[in-house]
Amino acid sequence: MRVRVITVSPPEHDQWVFGYGSLMWNPGFSFLERVEARLIGAHRALCVYSFHHRGTPEKPGLVLGLDVGGSCRGIAYRVAAADWPATHAYLTEREQISGVYREATRRIRLLDGSGRDSAATVYLVDRAHAQYARGLDHAAQFHLVRGAHGKSGPNCDYVLSTVASLREMGIDDPGLSWIAHRLREGHA
């Protein structure tokens, strides 16, 4: 599937982007501010088959998606208005490669003690998409992650980097931590 890039004019104000997976540890764009934040209404889940970045169609990996319900702590990046068109183009190419994510604007709470809320660009998983990995248990997730490798590198590196980033924020995701522990221990 070829992604159609739409030219975006600079907005009047700086824009926020919410990261919950690899955007937390590898944003890939310039930003003015990096702040822990909370999104209400979606949670982080290892629920997307990766056919490009962390796997292939023949040997898919698994990556995170924002799935319906709950809440998610992550990282919000404030992008200068003048940089937004280039940042948006980059994010579209990175996040919309197969259409499994839907770009949306949602309210986030910045967790820097300021009490600020802001609108942010987020990427929600499309549950109707063929790459949505519904109902996999931790063992099945581990099996996929352990053996997959894509354009952006080994799937295990993605999970281990995400778990390390979450731990820096004081977050323990039991499922991701279980998978990371097994990856570090070299379980088959």
b vs e for 10-27, b when ≥16 Cβ sit within 10 Å of the residue's Cβ? eeeebbbbbbbbbbbeeb
Q: How far apart are CA 61 and CA 146, in angstroms?
A: 8
Contact predicate 65/48, CB 8 Å = yes
Please give the single-letter amino acid code of residue 133. Answer: A
- In contact, 166 and 176? CB cutoff 8 Å: yes
Nearest to 110 by CA among 13, 14, 18, 15: 18
Helix (H) or strand (E) segment spanning residue 107: strand 101-110
Residue 55 half-sphere exposure, CB side, CA atoms within 13 Å? Answer: 23
CA distance 186 to 133: 24
* Residues labelled catalytic: 95
- Going by C-beta distance under 8 Å and a sequence separation of 6 or more, which residues neighbour residue 135? none
